[in-house]
Amino acid sequence: MTLKGLGVYFSTVMMRLSVIILLIALLTLAEANAGNSARNFGGVGIDGVPWANGQIVVRQMVAGGPAHLAGLKVGDIITHIDGKATMGSNFQDMVEHRLRGEAGTRVMLKVSRPGNSKPLTFTLTRRQLVTAGNKKN
C-alpha cells in the first residue's frame, strides 16, 4: 500500500470512528435527558377512582403529599382540574395530563366535599412523591 493509499484508508477509518463517537454521545445525552424528565415528574399525592360520570373521588392520599398538606380529604369529589370539568372526561387523560405533570408546577382543583354546600378550591404544587412502593434503597 502506498503512502497516499494509507492516508485515504486512515481518513476513512477516522471518519467512521467519529460517526460512532457522535452516535454514542447522542445516545448518552438522550438517556440523561430521559432521566431528568423522570426526575422532574410530579404529582399531587391523590389516589382517585372515577365515577361513571367522570368525576374523581379521592380514595386515599400520600401522607405529607401536596393534596394532604392542602387539606383535601378522602371522599372529596374532584369536579374541576385547572378549570376543566372532570364530568364527562376521560379518567386516564385527567390523571396523566392534568393531575400529573412537571414537579414544581401548579394545578388547581375544585372539589365538592360531602356535607359542604359550597365547592372548595385548592391550588397545589406538584412534586416528586415517595411512597412505600417506590422508595429508593
Same domain, 47 and 28: no
- Digit-coded pLDDT (tens) for 14-65: 666 555 665 565 555 555 444 444 557 789 999 999 998 989 999 999 989 9
Q: What is the pLDDT of residue 34?
A: 47
0.95 cut: is pTM over it?
Answer: no
Please check the confidence at residue 109 and state whether its pLDDT lies above 60.
yes
d(CA 48, CA 89): 14
Any domain includes 116: yes
The candidate with the shortest Cα–Cα distance to 50, out of 91, 94, 96, 95, is 91
Same domain, 26 and 71: no
Same domain, 96 and 107: yes
Same domain, 115 and 86: yes
Calculate the alpha carbon distances from 24 to 14, 34, 35, 128 in Å. 15, 15, 17, 30
Q: What is the pLDDT of residue 2?
A: 64
Same domain, 27 and 83: no
Structural domain range at position 72 = 42-125
The residues pairing with 116 across neighbouring beta strands, listed in sequence order, are none
Any domain includes 135: no
Any domain includes 132: no
Domain total of the chain:
2
